[in-house]
Structure 1
Amino acid sequence: MKIKHISADSHWQERLEKTGFGYHTDGDQTYWVENYYYSISPALADEIAEATNTLWNMCLKAVDHVISNRLYHHFHIPIFMHEHIEQGWENDAPSIYGRFDFAYDDIKKQLKVLEFNADTPTSLFETGVIQWHWMQHYFGKKADQFNSVHDRLIATWKELKPYLKGHTLHFTCLRETLEDLTNLEYLRDCAIQAGIKTKLIYLDDLGWNGLNFVDLEEETITDIFKLYPWEWMTQEAFALHIPNDVDQANWIEPSWKMILSNKAILAILWELFPNHPLLLETYIDEPKNLVNYVKKPLLSREGANVTLYINGKIIEATPGDYGEEGYICQELASLHKEHSGYSIIGSWIIGQEACGITFRESDRMITTDKSRFVPHIIE
């Protein structure tokens, strides 16, 4: 994998906005990279796909282990959600997607999983649509990517359609969140293409009639996709109604994803699969024998409150509002570095199948909300 440069169009921002991509820049910083890309080999693409599928199967075994042994205390999951999680797991509650973030060690030629964005992963629209259009715009239809995200989303919604409890699939997120709304509407569009009737409702418009959740038209919500983290949901005023819903609406992603979206799962994976080549040595609350490691809050997002230690000393740290929920300590990974920055690989699993990748690039070793999205081509 290596960076290659191209000459960007002078009006590329306008082109992106016509496709519905309105957050390509953040103030004076560029989020979307137009003028260079990662060139990767077919062998690396195959390696990422295989690693993603392998890790997904390992994660399912880890969830079963956590539920069977009721290890919820490691994840700080509220007691009132435990039974809901177990019922969803036992009943195969529908799940759509997730994104593994990998480091690539150039010396050892080895992928290492950093974390799993299992509940509300974003950058889906950039991956499935924007970087595909970018490739066709500059390189034509003969170029190729590791990217079947769009087709897999439609196919997966078709597969899940028979498991929906009602006739309408609601989609929800917070108001005035351009990135979330763009990703949500993309997912909804794919569901529509799969033949599913949908309806958009903002989170603060959810109602409760004493028996069920309802929308603004008093229609019972039987199935709902939420782009809103479960750990935030459980703090909402309506959260106690979720396990008391008479018809037990399908929440997508299901509540058992709270286990996989929590960084404690990385320690569970290490316990279940010690020294697995895809894993980094990880422990809950303490570094144990680790000297070079990363301390991450269990629920941290976008690199907040992450601290890097080398030889036991802090070399880099980020601010934020996380940490009270506890931490993991994870072996420090070797990141791929180019002249433009450090990169990690995001690998999507949709409907149980690896189907596409992203590259996120940062000026520092910790990936944050200021990190850039870099498209890729298989060459």
Structure 2
Amino acid sequence: MQRVELRPRADWQQRVEAVGMNYHTLDGDVYWDESACYRFTASQIDVLDDVTAELHALCLKAVQAIIDRHLFKQLLIPDWAVPYIVDSWERREPSVYGRFDLAWDGNGQPKLLEYNADTPTALLEAGVVQWFWLRDCYPDADQFNSIHEKLLVFWQDYRQRQPSLHFAGVDSSDEDSGNLEYLRDTAVQAGLQTQRLAIEQIGWDASRQRFVDLRNNPIRALFKLYPWEWLLQEEFSPYLPQAQPAMLEPPWKLLLSNKGLLPILWELFPGHPNLLEASFADKPLVGDYVRKPLYSREGANIQIRRGASLVETGGSYGGEACIYQRYTPLPEFAGNFPVIGSWIIADQPAGIGIREDKTEITGNNSRFIPHYFVEN
């Protein structure tokens, strides 16, 4: 794994906008950054592929263990939602995607930092934008990237269950809107009928006991780019079990979409080479650790304790329970710290995207860096 400095394409802004990415610059700073890329070997990509499949299998086992041991309170899941989640799992409701964030420098074993199991973004840049970059800049190389193809296969299968689908998200976020529209576009390409609306435009029809869109049409299936933990706090969320719209991601993903998964995985599979030691707050780790709130996002409210030094970020997630995870250093390349986001699409490894920052805490504006690989 090498970091290679490059000269960006002269018209890179127009090129990425042409494939749907209008958020290439955030708060005046470059987000899509092609002034560098990461170079892998084919054998390193094989490692990432295998590890992603392994972590996915461990997480599915963790779902069953959480249900069997009734660990919902540790994950701050309200009592009323438990039967809804369990029913979703027992019916094996399908899951579109997820992203494992890994620490790795190309040597040894990748380590799981966290699992973005519910509302992962950076999908458009990983699946499409970096692919077109590869064709322009390294046409003879390859890329760990079958995201687009696997999404089309998923939607083709899903169409047999649900021929139409509503897509909802937070329209005020350009990044969320770009990712949501990309997912919707892949569903359209696969033959589904789709409708787009903002999450706050979803209505509840009390007389017919169903959720509806702005035209009062029933929402029978919903893809929501909106965190489950937020959705459960909405006024009408307790009606979900009785209305039973098909949900993507499904309710059982709640069990994987918070940091409480990390100590549960460690307890189930202690010493696993791709896991880091982790614990709940009642058993804080001794030594170097990272403290994470159960539901923090985009690097908020993270605390890194390394020897006598303490690094922490602000945010609005500090009030709830937290977990402790054994500190592992991120690889450093010329003052840059990359995190590899490895995608699962329809239960299969599908490719990677890399975010990097000048610090070890990856935040909302951390840059996306493309990659390629060559034969060993």
CA distance in 2, matches of 1:192, 1:370: 30
CA distance in 1, matches of 2:133, 2:82: 44
Does the aligned pair in 2 maintain the 1:80–1:243 contact within 8 Å? no
The aligned runs of 1:215-234 (5 Å cut-off) are 215-234=213-232
Change beyond 3 A, Cα 1:291–1:176? same
Does the aligned pair in 2 maintain the 1:172–1:201 contact within 8 Å? yes
Is it true that 1:333 corresponds to 2:328 in the alignment?
yes
Match of 1:346 among 341, 347, 351: 341
CA-CA distance at 1:9 after TM superposition:
2.3
For 1:126, the equivalent position in structure 2 comes to 125
Question: What secondary structure, in the 3-state scheme, does the structure 1 residue paired with 2:362 have?
Answer: coil
The aligned runs of 1:66-215 (5 Å cut-off) are 66-104=66-104, 109-140=108-139, 142-164=140-162, 167-210=163-206, 211-215=209-213
Does the aligned pair in 2 maintain the 1:104–1:334 contact within 8 Å? no
CA distance in 2, matches of 1:334, 1:197: 46
Question: What secondary structure, in the 3-state scheme, does the structure 2 residue paired with 1:110 have?
Answer: coil
CA-CA distance at 1:314 after TM superposition:
4.2
CA distance in 2, matches of 1:73, 1:187: 33
The aligned runs of 1:338-377 (5 Å cut-off) are 338-377=333-372
Question: What secondary structure, in the 3-state scheme, does the structure 1 residue paired with 2:305 have?
Answer: strand
Q: What amino acid is the match of 1:372?
A: R
Aligned length: 372
The aligned runs of 1:23-34 (5 Å cut-off) are 23-34=23-34
For 1:7, the equivalent position in structure 2 comes to 7
Question: What secondary structure, in the 3-state scheme, does the structure 2 residue paired with 1:162 have?
Answer: coil
CA-CA distance at 1:216 after TM superposition:
1.4
Alpha-carbon RMSD across the aligned residues, in angstroms, is 1.3
Per-residue CA deviation, residues 316-353 of structure 1 (Å, 9 max, x unaligned), is: 10000102220010000121110041111100000110
Q: What amino acid is the match of 1:264?
A: G
CA-CA distance at 1:27 after TM superposition:
2.5
CA-CA distance at 1:109 after TM superposition:
1.9
CA distance in 1, matches of 2:292, 2:27: 27
Change beyond 3 A, Cα 1:289–1:118? closer
For 1:263, the equivalent position in structure 2 comes to 259
CA distance in 2, matches of 1:105, 1:8: 24
Question: What secondary structure, in the 3-state scheme, does the structure 2 residue paired with 1:21 have?
Answer: coil
Question: What secondary structure, in the 3-state scheme, does the structure 2 residue paired with 1:336 have?
Answer: coil
TM-score norm. by structure 1 comes to 0.95
TM-score norm. by structure 2 comes to 0.96
Match of 1:319 among 299, 307, 314: 314
Does the aligned pair in 2 maintain the 1:94–1:163 contact within 8 Å? no
For 2:303, the equivalent position in structure 1 comes to 307
CA distance in 1, matches of 2:284, 2:290: 12
Does the aligned pair in 2 maintain the 1:337–1:343 contact within 8 Å? yes
CA distance in 1, matches of 2:285, 2:247: 40
Question: What secondary structure, in the 3-state scheme, does the structure 1 residue paired with 2:53 have?
Answer: helix
CA distance in 1, matches of 2:353, 2:25: 17
CA-CA distance at 1:289 after TM superposition:
4.4
Which runs of no fewer than 5 residues in structure 1 stay unpaired? Answer: none
Per-residue CA deviation, residues 27-71 of structure 1 (Å, 9 max, x unaligned), is: 231111112100011111110110000010100000011012211
CA distance in 2, matches of 1:291, 1:36: 35
For 1:244, the equivalent position in structure 2 comes to 242
Tell me which moved more, 258-267 or 12-21: 12-21
For 1:273, the equivalent position in structure 2 comes to 269
Calculate percent identity across the aligned residue pairs: 42
Q: What amino acid is the match of 2:56?
A: W
Question: What secondary structure, in the 3-state scheme, does the structure 1 residue paired with 2:159 have?
Answer: helix
CA distance in 2, matches of 1:172, 1:235: 17
